[in-house]
Structure 1
Amino acid sequence: MSRRARLARLATRPVSGLFARISPDDERNIADVLRTEKAGGVLLLVGAVIALFWANSPWSESYETLAHTVVGPAALHLDLSLAHWASDGLLTIFFFVVGLELKREIVAGELRRPSSALLPIVAAIGGMAVPAILYVLVNLNGGDLRGWATPTATDIAFAIAVLAIVGRSLPNSLRAFLLTLAVVDDLLAIIVIAVFYSEAIHLGWLVAALAVVALFGLLTRRRITSVWLLLPLGLLAWGFMHASGVHATIAGVLLGLVVPGAPDDSDEHCMAAHFEHLWRPVSAGFAVPLFALFAAGVALDPDSLVAAAKDPVAQGVVLGLVLGKPIGITLGTWIVSKTTRTPLASGLGWADVLAVGFVAGIGFTVSLLIGSLAFGEGSAAEEHARAAILVASVLAAVLGGAGLAYRDRHHAALRAPSPEDSAGASPAGGS
């Protein structure tokens, strides 16, 4: 039987196993997200490169001056540096989009069914647990254990950009796995930030923030979408959350989660999809790149790099992202496969999972945020962690990109017509 005939049989029969074929609606959603995240990844890279050049140029002092310029009303305790506004303010938009993604995944996506949700959840847990364990092991003797969560996050924009560049022939089910994995990863990172990296909690302000979030959800449930009403409520929820001691970005997540994630009788599109369509370009095209501009400006001179390389903090971050992520994700997937006795879908191999795991080691946006929360902005440990995140992300991108490129050629070859098919075909397309 020719290769084309074998592929035709595979295409017409139901696909079973892990990473089985996904629905056409999910494929369209994936395509939309890939387009936006690819562009966002490029802009994020531009912001990071500008920051690196600026911070290591003769004008580095102006970069530090700009980043530490304080603006905002002191009476409301909002007299923050521009770098602080970027991490607490602009990233709230990013986390709002994350909340919307989570809501859609829970209501109508891969997380709505326990059977399909099990794989990305377990893989994400493994992809966070193993890096954290490696970091702790490296820092047990004389290191700084506060940063244990720094190497646990995946930057979806960079990961998708790598996937889009070198993984054009990969099955959509593998792309869906990476996207869902990243969403679950973000959820776990949000929980970590809220539980381990929040300050002393002021219950009154927290209750006020939750009340505003509930009102926001009630209005969106009644399909009231006036920007003049919802935007002030969002800002109020952010301000109350900031005053409560819980990291302000959590307000963005909660606001996204209370938006309805299923369409009603009057509209085939859900409110979460509507808001995601509006705010994803703002997040990917403005908020996250500007955050990168203020967060990625780390000194890369030889003395600074040598100091970082000797610090267990940097060593733990690099090991966690470059090795911990692929090991944890592959191990989690293997556990699901063995416990459910479900093999990988036809045509997929463990090399595909491992390559995706390496790409998931690109930790940037949330890793930088957790590093600043763990060590304090401007501290030596935070500087070393930032340098380690940049180096590890580059290494993970190179290794993951090479692995995906290799697997992409494998999957492209499976789809290509065999020599016997080409020889048997007439120039006119028939006999």
Structure 2
Amino acid sequence: MYRVWSFLTNYSLLLIFGAVIAVVWANVDYESYRHFVEFEIWDHAPIGHFHPADANHEAYRTLTLHYLVNDLLMALFFAIAAKEVWEAVILKNGSLRGKKAATPLFATLGGMLGPISVYLGLAYLLGSETYNAVFNGWAIPTATDIAFSYLVGRIVFGAGHPAVRFLLLLAIADDAAGLIILAVFYPTGELAPMWLLLSFAVAIGVYFLANWLPRRRDRGNQDRPASTWVRTKLHFLPYLIAGCISWYAFMRSGLHPALGLLPIVPTIPHADRAFGIFSEAEKYLTDLLNQIEHALKHPVEVVLFFFGLLNAGVQFNAIGSATWLVLAGLLIGKPVGILLFGWLAARPMGLGLPQGMRIIDLAVVGCVAAIGFTVSLFVASVAFDAGAIQDAAKMGALFSFAAAAISIVAGKLCRVDKQIS
């Protein structure tokens, strides 16, 4: 149990505290909570919420506390998620490489199509007015919270069960798909491709100057003087500058700025092989990408606290149709989609399951993966404007914690063979 508690404190405890404080605050004094969330840090700022020009004012931006956390600081959280995705795809022994990833990838597809189908199908049955009001939130129940799912997965299956690794593969693939969905389907404004080109140009430039060129100059020289000079003298500075430019370009491009660091992550020198998500071995790696991740760990924990504080504050009377649609998508669509597509991949397609894992375990994995929380909250905040529907959808994301209890019960009913090590 100590290892589980250690994991929880390292990755999720501050986020939970922030969310709990927000819910209590919003239900005790909603007006003061909203005032806190919308607190203006800088009016007519170079970054922030965009206000188009009208008859009385020129276009301008306002930097609020909510924008600072959700649009700027959460870019660090998504950069760490992108780092895990990048390593899983590109490195030797990466989790998402080869045949071993095929069944989890198919299950991930089911874990996204299932919730979308349930969400939109039930919304359609509720009538055109409800359907039109909630349609844009179709991506909210597709999310899987990696940290909480991993925690619950270890409780249900035990740390040594192959289903835990299967769950991690599914969750990281889900994260990758979620990043694509955010970029493609939830722009923050009219798209400006020239700004997006600037972001990718900066990424190419920093890769060439700070990564490829030093290694090229060191070719055949075991002392690697150029690479050593860049690593010791400049360290992460070139990537910090590139990251700031890329983030600003994303903001001006119309894509969500929280994704602004994604083009920079693949340019940073990384390890030669992957050790797996949440692997203890990674803390001993000295490549710059892992050094940056380790340096960001504690700041991102604080960011997640404020994310929970600024986004989870919804009143209990906000519960509405969007709440139940999000919950149904997660609690019904996820398990059914993962079970169906996992079975198709494992049996008819012959891709198989990890040794020691049964078909019925896919249903339990689906229940665990139904914990949407962090990313579901984030998608709800961009899918809907502030108001009753957004609050109702956020309540559904918060209630997805019920999947933890459902998972434990499902594990008992399915006679999961718990493996501690």
Q: TM-score, normalised by structure 1?
A: 0.78
Corresponding residue number in structure 2 for 1:385: 393
Choose which of 190, 208, 215 in structure 2 pairs with 1:200: 190
Match of 2:72 among 75, 89, 94: 89
Q: Quick check: 1:37–1:156 contact (8 Å CA) kept in 2?
A: no
Which range is displaced more, 345-354 or 140-149?
345-354
Separation (CA, whole Å) in 1 of partners of 2:34 and 2:414: 43
1:126 to 98, 110, 128: 110
CA displacement, residues 352-388 of structure 1 (integer Å, 9 cap, x when unaligned): 2221211111111221121121111x22210110111
Is the CA contact (8 Å cut-off) linking 1:364 and 1:390 kept in structure 2? yes
Equivalent residue in structure 2 for 1:398, among 393, 402, 405? 405
Q: Please state how far the C-alpha of 1:136 moved relative to its aligned partner.
A: 1.0
CA deviation map 1:381-422 (0-9, x unaligned): 10110111111x122121123334677873359x9xxxxxxx
Q: Is 1:43 aligned with 2:14? A: yes
Which of 68, 90, 94 matches 2:38? 68
After superposition, residues 19-418 of structure 1 pair within 5 angstroms as: 39-57=10-28, 59-72=29-42, 74-78=44-48, 79-108=62-91, 109-111=93-95, 113-140=97-124, 141-142=127-128, 143=131, 144-171=134-161, 173-198=162-187, 199-218=189-208, 219-220=210-211, 222=214, 224-225=230-231, 226-263=235-272, 269-283=286-300, 285-300=301-316, 303-305=317-319, 308=320, 311=321, 313-376=322-385, 378-391=386-399, 393-404=400-411, 410-412=417-419
Question: Counterparts of 1:263 and 1:345 in 2: how far apart (Å)?
Answer: 25
Query: Is the 8 Å Cα contact of residues 134 and 319 (structure 1) preserved in structure 2?
Result: yes
Please tell me whether the aligned partners of residues 241 and 247 of structure 1 are also in contact (alpha carbons under 8 angstroms). yes
SS at structure 2 position matched to 1:297:
coil
Contact kept, 8 Å, 1:263 with 1:271, in 2: the verdict is: no
For the 8 Å contact 1:205–1:241, the answer to whether it is kept is yes
* One-letter code aligned to 2:394: R
Amino acid at match of 1:401: I
Closer, same or farther in 2 for the Cα pair 1:344/1:211, shift >3 Å?
closer
Contact 1:201–1:244 under 8 Å retained in 2: yes
Distance 1:169 1:111 in 2: 17
User: Aligned partners of 1:88, 1:118: CA distance in 2, in Å?
Assistant: 33
Amino acid across the alignment from 1:133: S
SS in 1 for 2:68: helix
State the secondary structure of the residue aligned to 2:410.
helix
Determine if contact 1:120/1:180 at 8 Å carries over to the other structure. yes
Task: Using the TM superposition, give the Cα deviation of residue 247 of structure 1 relative to its aligned residue in structure 2, in angstroms.
Answer: 0.6
Question: Deviations along 1:220-253, whole A, 9 cap, x unmatched?
Answer: 5555452444323312211121111111122222
Partners in 2 of 1:220 and 1:278 — Cα distance? 20
The structure-2 alpha-carbon separation of the partners of 1:344 and 1:139, relative to structure 1 and needing over 3 Å to count, comes to same
In structure 2, the CA distance between the partners of 1:112 and 1:329, relative to structure 1 (3 Å rule), is closer
Q: Which runs of 5+ in 2 are unaligned?
A: 49-61, 215-226, 274-283
Partner-residue secondary structure (3-state), 1:252? coil
Per-residue deviation, residues 19-58 of structure 1 (Å, max 9, x unmatched): xxxxxxxxxxxxx99965662122221211111111112x
The separation in 2 between residues aligned to 1:250 and 1:388, in whole angstroms, is: 24
CA separation in 2, counterparts of 1:44 and 1:406? 31
Q: Distance in 1 between matches of 2:8 and 2:90?
A: 22
Q: Extract unaligned runs of 5+ from structure 1.
A: 1-31, 416-431
CA contact (8 A) 2:157 2:163 kept: no
Residues 407/38 of structure 1: CA separation in 2 closer, same or farther (3 Å cut) = farther
- The more displaced of 320-329 and 403-412 is 403-412
Match of 1:425 in 2: none
Distance 1:47-1:167 versus aligned 2 partners, 3 A rule: farther
Cα distance in 1, alignment partners of residues 367 and 324 from structure 2 = 17
- 8 Å CA contact retained: 1:99, 1:254: no
Letter in 1 for 2:83: L
Aligned residue in 1 for 2:222: none
Measured after TM superposition, the shift of residue 73 of structure 1 is 5.8
Does the 8 A contact of 1:169 with 1:408 survive in 2? no
Over the aligned positions, Cα root-mean-square deviation in angstroms equals 2.8
Q: Does the C-alpha gap of structure 1 residues 229 and 255 become closer, same or farther in structure 2, counting only changes over 3 Å? A: closer
How far apart are residue 115 of structure 1 and its match? 0.7
Q: Secondary structure at the match of 1:71?
A: strand
Give yes or no for contact 2:87–2:94 (8 Å, CA) kept in 1.
no
